[in-house]
Structure 1
């Protein structure tokens, strides 16, 4: 009997927490892990209780409709399923930071923060406390271990059009050791085909596109509703500091924006700078938007333990930007300076800059200044 018990313990299937958003990607990730022999549990994070935030269902994540879809897929797969309430932490770490960055003149990236603080922090700790070894998501990226160094590597997904390595650059070595991304080697069409063969309810569901707590895209109105503040009108200035019009509140404009300015200046103008204290927005020709040097802090290195000397890399300062050749230099603890070979259009404080060598994510950070 004891030998049988020991053998059963030794053959116990590894536990995997599947972060199920209600979309097709996480559903297929769950199915692939189940087929690979993992003991799967589906989890959906409830991030907001405001029912109006999730009405579209098909274009945001974590709405009530998404929870229903995730539950139905889990039921079809016959795996346990739970909804975990993270509304308080989401409010503090994601929504309030989102507002803070905009009010300081930056452009935030809440999806990166959600991955960092919610999916791969809270869920990993929850999995560990419930005896599970891995957290699994439907991201299009790959996790591999470097045999030579023992370091865990984050690599691009093979589907270049869907690659999500950019939004995962904050993953630590400890997290990467316990993260599985089964879609990294697949293309989106293959994922939908698997979902259709399994008759998943969300096989043809649209991908989420919007910020989940601002489904209508009007982030400034959301900020005013959330904070009770009113962001007042102020002056549009030209590159010489001359007033050329009146704006509707500096938070409503992003660096590089052309549409919606309401200015007739004889030639196209773009938002080139904002002074949040003076509540001014400076506009100018597009050539004023280009910068070669980017400074970043809150840096996370993945493929290397630290940066000790200049390195040649490629880099993105936006999610779907084509990578650009650059050299990265050490710039103090938790910081780096990045010099692009060619000037880049509107690298913006608050956004992530992610560094690559081939298909490997070297690391990344948050843009704090450009020149």
Structure 2
């Protein structure tokens, strides 16, 4: 399988009046061609900042402090903005959480879609309109010949999100980054949008990086999971391994907070006690230490990754044979 995107030691901060907010503190992962990867974690973990860093969308007071983002062999962090624009929106596209803030409310949907196609594919207005109608049809919008001339406010939330997906796919990108694409939608529409993304991925072989806080969504559509917390990757592995044998206490806590759908059973959901770390002064050790039920004094030092033969890795001292490891043994479920 061909490696499409490689992120190495990515560090992104925001300079505020109170000091430097270290949103992403050294992130490494890769995405293979045609792969669907889930980037999960609670609010403030660094998921969206990672995505914006990849896309070159970090604006002041934000600043990328270090790292590389290799798209094939091109470092997106070192090329001129003019070169980046040729890739962004063309070979790499992004769907944002709220389509109403991404679509211009005073411009017809068709005009917004055809402008993207004309800019990146270098085709005329007539051909761009024809492609736009077909894209709207592909994403399940009824009567696309009529809907193409309507304004965003004439579409429902789910339909606006479908328009954003059509726009993102208009140039047949190699990588689609979807930042919480179903958060503002009801459960039925969420399922439809996720099914649509799965179908389009299979049809086009586009790699997808799905950013979400919902592990249930990840279980439905992803093949690999990257769990973030405190600006770092806590755990990474195949979906089956993460769900069946989570290695990091934070991942275990996230999984225990998912409602079970087994008929006839009633289980109390478990919350993760405590609050996330202050990224103005992040801890020098494990960022999850203060909330972890298994933490020992060794956790005040930053752990190294513990990795299995399958590539399943966890940033945790638990299970590591090192001197002074006083972490509490975890009870196996």
TM interval, short-chain normalised = under 0.3
Give TM-score, length-normalised by structure 2.
0.24
Structure (1/2) with the larger strand percentage: 1
Structure (1/2) with the larger helix percentage: 2
